[in-house]
Amino acid sequence: MKPHDIHTQLDEHDIMESGTRNFPFKFYSTDVGSYLEERFLHLLDNSFGDFNDGEIACMKKYVLEDDSDEEREDESEENNTFVIVKVLHLVEENCVCKMMNIYEVSKGIQDPTMPVKAHRLYKFVRTVSNTVVPVTFTQEETKQERTSTVTEEELRKQIRKQVIEIWQVENENDIKSLLRRLMFQWHPDKNPDRIECTMLFQYIRSLTGRLERGETIPEEDTDSDSAPGPSQTYEHTFRPPPPQYTNSSRTDGGSYERFASRSNDRSRERSRRRMGDRRESHKWWRHADHDLKEAERRLAGSPPCYTIYFCLQAAGKFVKACLYQVDRDAAMTNNIDSLIKLCCLLNLPQTLKQLVNEVMSRVGNSDWLRVPDILGCPCDRYSQQDATFVLEKVNNLKELLVPDFYN
């Protein structure tokens, strides 16, 4: 039997692999720079903590920039946009709140590193320890294990300390982001199996309201009343988390999976939900507009190849901007030089495909615009008529994309 036939033979004899954990919740890929799939959102750890050098984490791509963004947050997918990053090192330690520490992170080889505040970084939930533990325990160690459960009062003390630290942060939007994250950690909808979370969640609201009214919260707070009115300024922050953060089909029992299906990524691609990234789309559209204006500026006084080059850049970016509206993963992994492929992924109507085909048939290979070859140099290959033709077609492409593909 050949090695590549083993999985098929096992399936034919109904031999399956058993396990104690569900395979659907194994990470298929942790490629730095890729988007986190929506079905893994509930596996993000909302607790506050430090990050190690070289640790793989998730970065919340967008944060609130002004008060008007807060009202729109539930209505868009931007709040659920996370990118897998690699934490490089701690850049700046905040003496007030450690979730305001600044880390240098990498989104991939081609992207520059960037400083990020810790409250935008998330660890993954780890249900199984990845450290070595002793096989046998002494009587003292067993006793410590039994008494290691954190009491509700200890949790309240921990929460009280965190809320007081958050309240000392100067930036209003940072306060909202930090409170929102703390709320996600303890919201009863996200912790249906923990009855104490309802009381702890109300305690967070109570503390916020008391601080807003000017009260001083002592380190050993004896006020167990969670009823006082919540904060007026931050009440919107305490809205329930989206269902993506709470729904989980994980079971505690064993699981079985066919060998051949485990090695086949096509089923995963079919089950992947296409999601957009509107802010990224707007960046690409803006840059495409810039290239098109540059092409128009160069039409009169520069060699035709420059006008055509900027036109082709603009066309690719316009289509990629539209693709980001509907499928961020496909847009991120495909280059603007593959204009025909981008059009196929976006599923453009025949009229728009015809426009693109007319442009490419006049331009030829996009590499012809960059480097000389056996046929000559780019500056000798195109005429002013070619430049005018391509510019007109790309302008038409832009106008036709707006109604159905860009908003």
For the segment 82-90, the average pLDDT, to the nearest whole number, is 95
Of 217, 259, 402, 390, nearest in space to 321 by CA: 402
Give the orientation angle of helix 196-212 with respect to helix 152-167, to 10 degrees: 30
* DSSP state letters, 186-237: H-TTT-TT-THHHHHHHHHHHHHHHHHTT----SS-------SPPPSSSGGG
Element (H, E) at 294: helix 278-301
Listed in order, strand segments (DSSP E) in 49-139 are 56-60, 82-92, 102-106, 114-117, 121-124
pLDDT score recorded for residue 249: 43
pLDDT score recorded for residue 366: 75
Residues in the chain: 407
Q: Residues 250, 40: contact at Cβ < 8 Å?
A: no
Residue 374: pLDDT band by 50, 70, 90 thresholds?
confident
Give the orientation angle of helix 278-301 with respect to helix 304-326, to 10 degrees: 170
Window from 154-158, 172-176, 262-266 with minimum mean pLDDT? 262-266
Task: Tell me the average pLDDT of the chain.
Answer: 79
Q: Which residue has the higher pLDDT, 350 or 255?
A: 350
Q: Which residue has the higher pLDDT, 288 or 237?
A: 288
DSSP 8-state symbol, 40: G
Domains delineated in the chain: 28-124 (2.30.30), 147-248 (no CATH), 278-405 (1.20.120.330)
pLDDT of 73 higher than 80: no
pLDDT score recorded for residue 235: 67
Cα–Cα dist 209/173, whole Å: 17
| Contacting residues for 219 by C-beta, under 8 A, at least 6 apart | 160, 161
- % of the chain residues with pLDDT over 70: 72
Of 39, 58, 36, nearest in space to 120 by CA: 58
Residue-wise pLDDT tens digits, 242-288: 776 665 544 333 334 444 444 444 445 555 678 899 999 999 999 99
* DSSP β-ladder status, 44-45 and 121-124: antiparallel
Residue-wise pLDDT tens digits, 88-106: 999 999 988 999 999 999 9
Helix (H, G, I), strand (E, B) or coil at 121: strand
pLDDT score recorded for residue 120: 94
Please tell me the pTM assigned to this model. 0.74
3-state helix, strand, coil in the chain (%, to 5): 55, 10, 40
For the segment 145-151, the average pLDDT, to the nearest whole number, is 58
pLDDT score recorded for residue 147: 39
Q: Residues 237, 183: contact at Cβ < 8 Å?
A: yes
pLDDT score recorded for residue 65: 61
Q: Residue 116: beta bridge partners? A: 103
Q: Which two tokens stand for residue 213?
A: 């009214």
pLDDT score recorded for residue 146: 41
Cα–Cα dist 355/394, whole Å: 8
Cα–Cα dist 340/130, whole Å: 46
pLDDT score recorded for residue 306: 92
Cα–Cα dist 264/331, whole Å: 22
pLDDT of 393 higher than 80: yes
Helix (H, G, I), strand (E, B) or coil at 30: coil
Q: Residue 90: beta bridge partners? A: 103
Of 117, 46, 120, nearest in space to 82 by CA: 120
Q: Which residue has the higher pLDDT, 219 or 115?
A: 115
Helix (H, G, I), strand (E, B) or coil at 3: helix
Cα–Cα dist 370/309, whole Å: 8
pLDDT score recorded for residue 251: 39
Q: Which two tokens stand for residue 337?
A: 């030089």
pLDDT score recorded for residue 24: 43
Q: Residues 227, 200: contact at Cβ < 8 Å?
A: no
